[in-house]
Every structure is written in C-alpha cells, then in structure tokens.
Structure 1
C-alpha cells in the first residue's frame, strides 16, 4: 500500500480547486445562455432560482439571500413579474406584507433549457456507486456552505444559511 505524501495531497487539493473553478465558470456560462434565451439578466435568473428554491419570500428576505440592495431588487422583481416568472402577493398571515412567489407553470420552460446539462449529469452519475454519489453530494454541500460563509465574511453581514440536508 502506498502512502500519500503531503505534497501529493496539496497537488490533489489544487487540482480539485481548479476543477471547481472550471465548473463554476461553465455553470455561469450555461446560466448566461439560459438567461439570454429567456431574456433575463444573470441576476434575474439568480433571484428566480432563489424564489424557486426558498419561496415564497418577502422582497427583503430575497434581497438578503441574493446580497442585493432592496432598490436593486425592485427592478429585478419588476422584470420577473412582467415576464410572468413571479407574482407578488399579499402575505396571508400579514396582509400588509408582500411575498414573491414563482409561477410554477413556467418551470417547464426553464427546465427545458437545462435538459442537456441534466441529461449529461444523469449519465455521469450513472458511472458512480451510491456511496460515491453520497460522498460527492456531501462534499458539494460542504463546499456550498463554505461559499456561504465566504460571502458572509466579504459582505460583513449575516447571510442566511442553507437548510441542512441529510
């Protein structure tokens, strides 16, 4: 059995960081293409993704999650609402408050644009055992949590944590 040296571990870690940067870049480019097909800006698509994942949300909660100034978010919500992607509704518990809800009927259009990537991911995942997939998912969750902490540190404010997954 061969032992792993500290230099081997550093090289492997650097390779992993480079792969994550490349993945981040490619996903950003994919999102930009999807946004262009939908006539949405990158930030619009980010906010739509947050509303789909965590909504309905108040505009202030969405602004915090997206790291945006509330005035900036107003313009984004106006564009998303005009495009039929979200609706602003009165909060049933507090009629003075407004919540932003994604229009679920539009999800098929959005998912259709990601179909090629999703099919590729299914094929890639098919080459891994269940335990390996769980290990990879755990790594990615922990990496996302590290990203949340880095954003929080750079912003100098409290950033909401992603719900813990099993």
Structure 2
C-alpha cells in the first residue's frame, strides 16, 4: 500500500469514528430534548416515543406499536391507557378486522399543537442550520440519515429477537 492510500485509509477510519461519535452525541442530545418535552407534557419518555410512532405511522394496532417500539404487548397496554387518559390518542374498533376485539390507535390532532410548540426552538435552529447547505448537500444528508435510520431499525430488530 502506498503512503497516500494508507493515509487515506486512516483518514476514512478517523472520519467514520467521528461520525459514529457524533451520532451517539446527537442521540443523547435528542433524548434529553425529548425528556424535557415529555416533562412539559407530563408524559413518560416511553409514552412520548410511542405517541411519536402513532403520530408518524398511525393509525396502528397496539401490537404493531409494541413491535415498532420493541416493547412487550402488556407494557403497551399501560402506555396506551395513559395516552388515552391524557387525551393524546383514541382507540377505535377496526371494522376491517375479523376479530371484533381488534382496535387501531390514532393520535388526536387537537393535542399536536402542544407538542409542536415545544419542538419549535429545535425546528427553528434546524431551519437556520440547513439554510447553509446546498440542495445537493441536503440530498446527501437526507440519504445518509434515512440509511442510518434503516440500519438502526435493523439493529433494534436483531436485538429484540435475540
């Protein structure tokens, strides 16, 4: 291996390590932000996480929410009870299901403004940060984040099944 190639390999390893370290730091910082948002809304961290899943991907069955969150169905029942009692979600019978007990869960839109308001500071900071990037840069960042999310989902599934 010539010196330039060895140098490039070391640089790539260093940069890859910096990216992984930055992602861990970002994960920690977002967890802290989410914890603060949850505290303002009187929601447990896991409740806020499940509400986000329901808001983004719902309506979902309780078992689908549990699967996506990596939680036991009995745990999900307690979370959904708290979210429903707090006026965050509604459970409705699924008319298409063969089992008459089947329900779907959907987020109640009238409460979403409360959540958006608490994330407004972060959203504003992100808008300012992203304004410095070109469209090509944003495409690259979007692709990287989507692929990182997919890798995280695969790792989560693997751990949940172990």
Give the TM-score normalised by structure 1. Answer: 0.90
Structure 1 position 81 matched with structure 2 position 84: yes
After the TM superposition, which residues 138-157 of structure 1 pair with which residues of structure 2 at under 5 Å, given as runs? 138-156=143-161
Other structure's SS at 1:114 match: helix
Q: Report the Cα offset of residue 155 of structure 1.
A: 1.4
Structure 1 position 61 matched with structure 2 position 49: no
Instruction: For 1:143 and 1:131, locate their aligned partners in 2 and report how far apart those are by CA, in whole Å.
Output: 18
For this pair of structures, how many residues does the alignment match? 156
Matched with 1:50 is 53
Q: Runs in 1 of length 4+ with deviation above 2 angstroms? A: none
Q: Kindly provide the CA deviation profile for residues 73-101 of structure 1, in whole angstroms up to 9, marking residues without a partner as x.
A: 11100100011000001112134311101
2:132 maps to which of 111, 127, 134: 127
Other structure's SS at 2:133 match: coil
Other structure's SS at 2:156 match: helix
Instruction: For 2:61 and 2:154, locate their aligned partners in 1 and report how far apart those are by CA, in whole Å.
Output: 23
Q: Kindly provide the CA deviation profile for residues 99-124 of structure 1, in whole angstroms up to 9, marking residues without a partner as x.
A: 10100111111000000000000000
Unpaired stretches in structure 2, ≥5 consecutive residues? none
After the TM superposition, which residues 111-122 of structure 1 pair with which residues of structure 2 at under 5 Å, given as runs? 111-122=116-127
Matched with 1:18 is 21
Q: Kindly provide the CA deviation profile for residues 105-159 of structure 1, in whole angstroms up to 9, marking residues without a partner as x.
A: 11111000000000000000000001100100100000111101111111127xx
Give the TM-score normalised by structure 2. Answer: 0.92
Larger radius of gyration: 2
Instruction: For 1:119 and 1:77, locate their aligned partners in 2 and report how far apart those are by CA, in whole Å.
Output: 31
Instruction: For 1:19 and 1:142, locate their aligned partners in 2 and report how far apart those are by CA, in whole Å.
Output: 16
